[in-house]
């Protein structure tokens, strides 16, 4: 049976270290790390994520601002808010929750964030640094950064020569994850909706990362014996066994079946989700430390 990789526990350790780091920074320089989280519209999942990001920031002792804008907010208004946050010395990290409403050009909004405050790691400058191996000075996107930490916990720090398959080619998870694995000297393949014989490809993976957003798409017999499985999916499905209208969260991997073959696997919930928020806190502290010099 696979080892369960307890992301929540690791995330708690990181948050405790960030809290200590923030206290130290304040003691040395008087600087309190500040984060602004911006949400446009009322997407329920986004609201849950944003609320937990703001809560965790307060727990870390950060100065935390939450900007909730109406669905019909125009792009110019959002860009003006970001310009204000870019200029605000009390704010070290800016996060604009995605997806944005269709009438707003999300790319333009992301590129308007000061790269030194881009704690999501989505600005071209940070994407470019990561893809050219400048990982020390890049802000690395939070979900892949957290996924790497859990991979290394399960597998040891040396991933050199291992075969990694990342399912999903998003800019938020799939592509940066592949770059991080490549920087760690793994042999990396990115699979996506057009990949042929995904099952056979997955069976080659020492490290399998699933980031597609399709409930339990990865089957137990796709897992190479002993593989490390990182399940990034957070999918809400009906749960009639819990009563009418109830739902529950599952990952992109069929967890019970995968446990038969995997060496180690992240659960959903309690795996990658808490790590994403912990890494956002770590990135914000790093941004504040850089500003403080
Ligand atoms: N939407 C889903 N994941 C993320 C994330 O990591 N950052 C932002 N800003 N929006 C998201």
| 242-258 residue pLDDT tens | 998 999 999 999 999 99
Active site residue ranges: 53, 97, 120
Task: Tell whether the model's pLDDT for residue 279 goes beyond 90.
Answer: yes
Please report, in angstroms and rounded to a whole number, the separation of the first and last CA atoms in the chain: 48
Give the pLDDT score at 293: 80
Band of the pLDDT at 55, cuts 50, 70, 90? very high
Instruction: Look at residue 13 and tell me if it is in a domain.
Output: no
Q: Are residues 60 and 171 in the same domain?
A: no
Specify the 3-state DSSP secondary structure of 237: strand
Which of 49, 272, 281 to probe ligand 1 with, by most ligand atoms within 8 A of CB? 49
Query: Looking at the 3D structure of the chain, how many domains does it have?
Result: 2
Please tell me the distance between residue 95's alpha carbon and the centre of ligand 1 in angstroms.
8
Return the residue whose CA atom lies nearest to atom 3 of ligand 1.
98
Helix (H) or strand (E) holding 279: helix 272-292
Instruction: Look at residue 80 and tell me if it is in a domain.
Output: yes
Q: What is the CATH number of the domain that holds 37?
A: 3.40.50.10860
Q: Which residue has the tokens 């995904």?
A: 198
Task: Tell whether the model's pLDDT for residue 237 goes beyond 90.
Answer: yes
Specify the 3-state DSSP secondary structure of 73: coil
> From the CB of 126, is ligand 1 less than 6 Å away?
no
Please tell me the distance between residue 261's alpha carbon and the centre of ligand 1 in angstroms.
31
Specify the 3-state DSSP secondary structure of 257: helix
207 class by beta-carbon count within 10 Å (0-12 exposed, 13-18 middle, 19+ buried): buried
Specify the 3-state DSSP secondary structure of 213: coil
Task: Tell whether the model's pLDDT for residue 127 goes beyond 90.
Answer: yes
Helices (H), 30-90: 44-59, 75-87
Instruction: Look at residue 66 and tell me if it is in a domain.
Output: yes
Instruction: Look at residue 290 and tell me if it is in a domain.
Output: no
| Average pLDDT score over residue span 37-50 | 95
Task: Tell whether the model's pLDDT for residue 273 goes beyond 90.
Answer: yes
Q: Are residues 110 and 154 in the same domain?
A: no
Rounded to two decimals, what is the model's pTM?
0.97
Taking phi over 0 as left and psi of -120 to 50 as alpha, with beta for the rest, 155 belongs to alpha
Annotated binding site for NADP(+): 168-170, 234
DSSP secondary structure, 217-232, as one string? -B-GGGSPTT-EEEE-
> From the CB of 280, is ligand 1 less than 6 Å away?
no
Task: Tell whether the model's pLDDT for residue 135 goes beyond 90.
Answer: no
Query: Using the 8-state DSSP alphabet, how is residue 253 labeled?
Result: B
The atom of ligand 1 lying closest to the CA of 98 is 10
Give the pLDDT score at 52: 96
State what percent of residues in the chain have pLDDT above 70.
Answer: 100
How far does CA 87 lie from the centroid of its chain? 26
Q: Provide the residue range defining the domain that includes 111.
A: 31-115
Sign of CA dihedral 276, 279, 283, 288: positive
> From the CB of 100, is ligand 1 less than 6 Å away?
no
Please tell me the distance between residue 221's alpha carbon and the centre of ligand 1 in angstroms.
31
> From the CB of 95, is ligand 1 less than 6 Å away?
yes
Q: What is the CATH number of the domain that holds 197?
A: 3.40.50.720
The answer to whether 246 and 268 are in contact (CB under 8 A) is: no
Return the residue whose CA atom lies nearest to atom 11 of ligand 1.
98
Q: What is the number of other CB atoms lying within 10 angstroms of the CB of residue 238? A: 11
Instruction: Look at residue 125 and tell me if it is in a domain.
Output: no
Instruction: Look at residue 107 and tell me if it is in a domain.
Output: yes
Task: Tell whether the model's pLDDT for residue 102 goes beyond 90.
Answer: yes
Band of the pLDDT at 100, cuts 50, 70, 90? very high
> From the CB of 120, is ligand 1 less than 6 Å away?
yes
Q: How far apart are CA 4 and CA 104, in angstroms?
A: 40
Give the pLDDT score at 240: 92
Please tell me the distance between residue 172's alpha carbon and the centre of ligand 1 in angstroms.
7
Beta carbons within 8 Å of 179's beta carbon, 6+ residues apart:
130, 131
| Average pLDDT score over residue span 165-187 | 98
Tokens in use for 179?
Answer: 């770059």
Please tell me the distance between residue 28's alpha carbon and the centre of ligand 1 in angstroms.
32
Q: Are residues 158 and 220 in the same domain?
A: yes
Q: Are residues 195 and 158 in the same domain?
A: yes
């Amino acid at each position: 049976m696979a080892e369960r990789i307890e992301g929540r526990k690791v995330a708690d350790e990181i948050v405790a270290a960030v809290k200590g780091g923030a206290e130290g920074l304040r003691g040395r320089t008087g600087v309190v790390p500040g984060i602004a989280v911006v949400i446009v519209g009322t997407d329920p999942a986004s609201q849950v994520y944003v609320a937990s990001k703001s809560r965790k920031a307060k727990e870390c002792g950060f100065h935390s601002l939450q900007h909730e804008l109406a669905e019909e907010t125009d792009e110019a208004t959002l860009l003006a808010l970001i310009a204000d946050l870019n200029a605000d010395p009390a704010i070290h990290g800016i996060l604009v929750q995605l997806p944005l409403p269709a009438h707003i050009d999300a790319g333009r909004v992301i590129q308007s964030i000061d790269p030194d405050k881009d704690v999501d790691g989505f600005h071209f400058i940070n994407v470019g640094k990561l893809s050219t191996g400048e990982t020390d000075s890049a802000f690395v996107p939070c979900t892949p950064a957290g996924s790497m930490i859990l991979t290394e916990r399960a597998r040891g720090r040396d991933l050199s020569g291992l075969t990694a398959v990342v399912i999903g080619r998003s800019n938020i998870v799939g592509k940066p994850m592949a770059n991080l694995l490549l920087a760690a000297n793994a042999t990396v393949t990115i699979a996506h909706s057009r990949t042929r014989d995904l099952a056979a490809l997955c069976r080659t993976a020492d490290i399998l990362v699933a980031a597609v957003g399709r409930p339990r798409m990865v089957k137990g017999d796709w897992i190479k014996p002993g593989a490390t499985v990182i399940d990034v999916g957070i999918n809400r499905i009906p749960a009639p066994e819990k009563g009418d209208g109830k739902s529950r969260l599952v990952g992109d991997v069929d967890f019970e079946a995968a446990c038969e073959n995997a060496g180690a696997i992240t659960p959903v919930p309690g795996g990658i989700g808490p790590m994403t928020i912990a890494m956002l806190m770590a990135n914000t502290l790093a941004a504040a430390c850089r500003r403080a010099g």
